[in-house]
């Protein structure tokens, strides 16, 4: 006879501490003990800052210029996404050695469900400690672990024991832990919702819990209202989702100085498109929705998207859609600071050969075939081996900034 | 104004003219349906500046008059009324609608601001409502749905001596229907939004005779009109030039398959279950057998075999399953004949009434196969 177990805290949220900065420090021992900020270029933003840097008030997403003013002596390191994803892969592999139920949320955080691992590997707390030790000894970086009975509480717990800590919230203490926290800690409470709730006089998650569901729905809408009410009572039924399929692929580029020439901007759009479509094909996807993002000199940002009847993957086809979206904006020499592209409505090919629906009367070989050949050449000879002509750098001139 | 009308006749007329109403018109009066009662009966009109609709409804007119009321309200009410005579009367600035124990008072809109509806161009030719609905349905399916390419959202109507030719394409498939009719005028052409045309044709199915009227190329207003049994509709033609398509229809073939449509449709549906609807369905045609296949690798896979008549060189071809199903439904026959010129070239579907019956090329559905890059 199996005993019915009492509700248990078996969900772990593991978050790497200042991940990019930690990887940079580990790879360059001379950075140890220094104020390290990942992100360079006067016009981009901080992607990660170590804890020494955070003492100066430097935060992720802060403009680099501001970070420099806060800590002029800080070391600014160029981000190396390839390196981060390598390390991330290894860390996720460590997690998977403890339980197959791993849901990566981003390169540096994941949810684990260790309910099935308890018998073999010990209590969730013991498993959490073992994972932290393993990550530190094997990868030379630290992480923080939140343990609770739901994803929401586990994530809140990990953020409260950073850096290099562990916090377990037993099920019977969940509400004592959750209710004093400020409302914006709750999932689904962003800037806008937060503002509406504040106006109602709600400050803590406990305040939300003690407001009627109907009032919340009236204030913030049917779905958001119901969700935050449930979450405020720690009723979070989301389970660990394995290999959640990728929802979108995107890239964006902040220019070294604002551009106002359409030809130049379209050149940059082609460059980011080339980058994302290559990844799209590498990861065996086709996309139906193409959206572009344009940020102007004054930081106002707009996005435009288009959904096609059939999925596509060829750079030229996707670029022509993206270009049409940009041209339709009818910008007259507006100063553009950033341009981005995002592909959504992804269709996984899962090992099926890439198939395209050519038009009636199309030549026997279309863009897709040409680009498969280009991808193959790039794999063999490196990323710059073949590129759209307008993206090639003149050989004897210095490259673009 | 005062008249009595049968519920069904009223609902039929109101639904017909409501098709020409836009939910968000440029002028508020266009939200209305114009009701005009005179000695001849009741005349209903709806207009959104693109399409216009008129319907004559038999009624016992006690007092003549004209009113404009909300089309949305009127059609909701007409549908919901009990099956009893309906009395309309103007009561101050409201229209009262009484049927049995149900009573409505509708506010009126200003009749004087209502624009004149376009005139129906003179008749080009006639055909039966059923034939018209079938032909339009067969080609409208191939029209594009992307409003950024308006030309491809249309059906191209061409009149050549005594032939009426309808064609539509979304670039991936092309549907062409030809039929003979008696037309007094020698040649004309028009491009009409497929959705508008299809809706009109569907609701005229069953009519003994539908009159089709194309404005001359030189006319001020480029209109196409349909009229049948007291109902009239006009629609503005789409701007732009329909792409030349005749050269796309292959003049030769390397192989021919004849397949019974119903089991073929069932197999395609089953096999396509394992993959996204835009993932290719692979078909291998061999003498005597057709193998359908979808899915590869570790994913779900499905395969099925059908008995077919096949003549020519064996071939493998891949289609978007939705496009294939559209074509199989559109041939509207018990058997389909598929003509091939190779695995990467468009295939042509046509109907056949029986396995060894005569092929009916009055309808052709040209479908571009999907292509693998490797």
Catalytic residue status for A109: yes
Residue A235 confidence (pLDDT): 87
Q: What is the spatial distance between Cα A20 and Cα A86, in angstroms, rounded to a whole number?
A: 12
Query: Does the N-terminal peptide bond of residue A163 adopt cis geometry, omega within 30 degrees of 0?
Result: yes
Percent of chain A with pLDDT over 90: 39
- pLDDT-based confidence at residue A4 (cuts at 50, 70, 90): very low
The whole-angstrom separation of Cα B54 and Cα B18 is 9
Neighboring chain A residues of B346 at a CB cutoff of 8 Å: 360
Closest-CA distance of chain B to residue A346, Å: 11
Catalytic residue among A109, A139, A268, A371: A109
B213 shares contact with chain A (CB less than 8 Å): no
A111 DSSP β-pair partners: A13, A103
Read off the pLDDT of residues B281-314 as tens digits, 9 standing for 90 and up.
999 999 999 999 987 766 678 899 999 999 999 9
- DSSP reduced 3-state for B307: strand
pLDDT at B15 over 90: yes
| Residue linked to tokens 């052409």 | B189
Q: Please indicate whether, in this complex, the C-beta atoms of A310 and B172 are within 8 angstroms of each other.
A: yes
Which residues in chain A are contacts of B368 at CB distance < 8 A? Answer: 357-360, 362
Integer Cα distance of A83 and B236 in angstroms: 60
pLDDT tens, A98-120?
Answer: 888 888 888 899 999 998 877 77
Tell which residue, A73, A107, A101, A76, has the closest CA to residue A89: A107
Question: Chain A residue closest to B365 (CA)?
Answer: A360
- pLDDT of residue A206 exceeding 60, the answer is yes
Residue ranges in chain B assigned as alpha helix (H): 7-18, 71-80, 129-140, 194-204, 261-272, 321-330
A173 close to B (CB below 8 A): no
Q: Are B169 and A360 in contact (CB under 8 A)?
A: yes
Tokens of A181: 């926290």
Q: Name chain B contacts of A369, Cβ cutoff 8 Å.
A: 371, 373
Restricting to B residues 114-153, those with a Cβ less than 8 Å away from any Cβ of A are: 144-146, 148
Distance of alpha carbon A235 from its chain centroid, rounded?
25
A308 chain-B contacts, CB cut-off 8 A: 146
Whether A357 contacts chain B with CB within 8 A = yes
Residues 6+ apart with CB under 8 A from B51: B19, B20, B196, B233, B234, B235, B236
Distance, in Å, from the CA atom of B111 to the CA atom of B115, rounded to the nearest integer, reads: 9
Whether residues A355 and B295 touch (CB distance < 8 A) is answered with no
Q: How confident is the model at residue B108 (pLDDT cuts 50, 70, 90)?
A: very high
Mean pLDDT on A115-141? 88
Chain B residues touching residue A356 (CB < 8 angstroms):
370-371, 373
CB–CB contact A353 B372 (8 Å): yes
B30 touching A, CB under 8 A? Answer: no
How close does chain B come to A90, measured CA to CA in Å? 25
CB contact under 8 A, B276 and A347: yes
DSSP A21: H
- Pairing state of beta strands B125-127 and B210-214? antiparallel
The answer to whether residue A364 scores a pLDDT higher than 80 is: no
Q: Does the pLDDT at position A252 exceed 80?
A: yes
The answer, for B298 touching chain A at a CB cutoff of 8 Å, is yes
pLDDT in tens, B110-126: 999 999 999 999 888 88
Report d(CA B307, CA A180) in Å as an integer. Answer: 71
CB proximity under 8 Å: A 48-77 to B = none
Contact A308 B146 (CB under 8 A): yes
Give the pLDDT of residue B26.
83
Q: Is residue B187 within a helix (H) or strand (E), and if so which, with residue range?
A: strand B187-193
The whole-model pTM stands at: 0.63
Per-residue model confidence as pLDDT tens digits over B132-178: 999 999 999 999 988 778 899 999 999 887 889 999 999 999 999 99
Asked if the C-beta of B250 comes within 8 angstroms of chain A's C-beta atoms, the answer is no
Tokens standing for B106?
């509708």
Separation of alpha carbons A141 and A134, rounded Å:
10
A345 touches chain B (CB under 8 A): no
Q: Are strands A75-77 and A36-38 parallel, antiparallel or unpaired?
A: parallel
Q: Which residue has the tokens 């955080």?
A: A109
The mean pLDDT of A276-289, rounded to a whole number, is 86
């Amino acid at each position: 006879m199996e005993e019915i177990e009492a509700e248990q805290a078996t969900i772990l949220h593991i978050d790497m501490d200042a991940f990019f900065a930690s990887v940079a420090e580990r790879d360059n021992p001379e950075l140890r003990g220094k104020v390290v900020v990942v992100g360079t270029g006067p016009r981009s933003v901080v992607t990660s800052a170590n804890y020494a840097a955070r003492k100066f008030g430097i935060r992720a997403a802060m403009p680099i210029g501001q970070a420099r003013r806060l800590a002029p002596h800080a070391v600014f390191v160029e981000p190396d996404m390839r390196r981060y994803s390598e390390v991330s892969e290894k860390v996720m592999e460590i997690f998977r050695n403890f339980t197959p139920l791993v849901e990566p949320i981003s390169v540096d955080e994941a949810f684990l469900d260790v309910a099935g691992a308890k018998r073999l590997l010990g209590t969730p707390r013991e498993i959490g400690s073992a994972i932290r030790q393993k990550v530190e000894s094997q990868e030379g970086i630290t992480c923080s672990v939140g343990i609770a009975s739901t994803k929401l509480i586990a994530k809140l717990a990990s953020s409260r024991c950073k850096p290099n800590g562990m916090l377990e919230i037993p099920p019977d203490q969940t509400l004592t832990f959750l209710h004093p926290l400020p409302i914006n800690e709750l999932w689904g409470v962003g800037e806008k919702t937060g503002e509406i709730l504040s106006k109602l006089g709600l400050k803590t998650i406990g305040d939300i819990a003690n407001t009627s569901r109907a009032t919340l729905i009236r204030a913030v809408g049917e779905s958001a209202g119901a969700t935050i009410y449930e979450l405020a009572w720690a009723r979070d039924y989301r389970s660990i989702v394995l290999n959640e399929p990728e929802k979108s692929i995107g890239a964006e580029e902040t220019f070294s100085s604002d551009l106002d020439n359409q030809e130049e901007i379209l050149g940059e759009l082609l460059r980011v498109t080339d980058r994302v479509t290559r990844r799209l094909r590498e990861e065996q996807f086709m996309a139906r929705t193409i959206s572009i993002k344009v940020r102007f000199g004054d930081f106002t940002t707009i996005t435009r998207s288009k959904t096609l009847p059939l999925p596509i993957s060829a750079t030229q086809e996707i670029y022509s859609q993206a270009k049409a979206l940009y041209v339709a904006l009818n910008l007259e020499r507006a100063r553009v600071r950033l341009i981005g592209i995002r592909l959504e409505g992804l269709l996984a090919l899962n090992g099926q050969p890439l198939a395209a629906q050519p038009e009636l009367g199309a030549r026997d070989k279309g863009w897709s075939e040409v680009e498969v050949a280009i991808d193959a050449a790039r794999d063999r000879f490196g990323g710059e081996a073949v590129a759209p002509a307008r993206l090639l750098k003149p050989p004897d001139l210095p490259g673009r900034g | 104004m005062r008249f009595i009308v049968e519920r069904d006749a009223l609902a039929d007329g109101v639904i017909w003219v409501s098709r020409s109403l836009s939910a968000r018109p440029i002028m508020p009066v266009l939200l209305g349906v114009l009701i005009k009662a005179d000695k001849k009966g009741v005349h209903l009109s709806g207009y959104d500046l693109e399409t216009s609709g008129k319907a004559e409804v038999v009624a016992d007119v006690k007092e003549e008059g004209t009113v404009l009321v909300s089309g949305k309200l009127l059609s909701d009410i007409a549908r919901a009324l009990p099956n009893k005579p309906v009395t309309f009367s103007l009561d101050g600035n409201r229209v009262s609608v009484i049927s049995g124990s149900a009573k409505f008072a509708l506010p009126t809109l200003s009749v004087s601001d209502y624009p004149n509806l376009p005139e129906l161009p003179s008749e080009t030719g006639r055909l039966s409502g059923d034939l018209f609905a079938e032909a339009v349905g067969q080609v409208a399916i191939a029209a594009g749905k992307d409003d950024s390419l308006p030309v491809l959202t249309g059906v191209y109507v061409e009149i050549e001596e005594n032939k009426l030719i309808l064609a539509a394409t979304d670039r991936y498939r092309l549907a062409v229907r030809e039929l003979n009719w008696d037309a007094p005028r020698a040649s004309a052409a028009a491009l009409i939004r497929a959705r508008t045309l299809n809706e009109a044709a569907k609701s005229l199915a069953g009519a003994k005779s539908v009159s089709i009227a194309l404005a001359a190329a030189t006319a001020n207003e480029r209109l196409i009109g349909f009229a049948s049994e007291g109902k009239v509709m006009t629609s503005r033609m789409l701007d732009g030039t329909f792409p030349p398509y005749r050269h796309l229809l292959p003049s030769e073939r390397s192989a021919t398959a004849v397949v019974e449509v119903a089991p073929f449709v069932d197999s395609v549906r089953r096999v396509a279950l394992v993959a996204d609807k835009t993932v290719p369905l692979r078909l291998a045609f061999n003498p005597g057998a057709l193998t359908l296949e979808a899915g590869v690798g570790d994913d779900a896979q499905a395969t099925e075999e059908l008995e077919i008549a096949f003549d020519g060189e064996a071939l493998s071809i891949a289609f978007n399953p939705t496009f294939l199903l559209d074509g199989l439904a559109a041939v509207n026959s018990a058997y389909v004949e598929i003509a091939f010129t190779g695995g990467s070239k468009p295939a042509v579907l046509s109907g056949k009434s029986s396995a060894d019956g005569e092929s009916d090329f009055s309808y052709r559905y040209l479908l571009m196969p999907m292509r693998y890059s490797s």
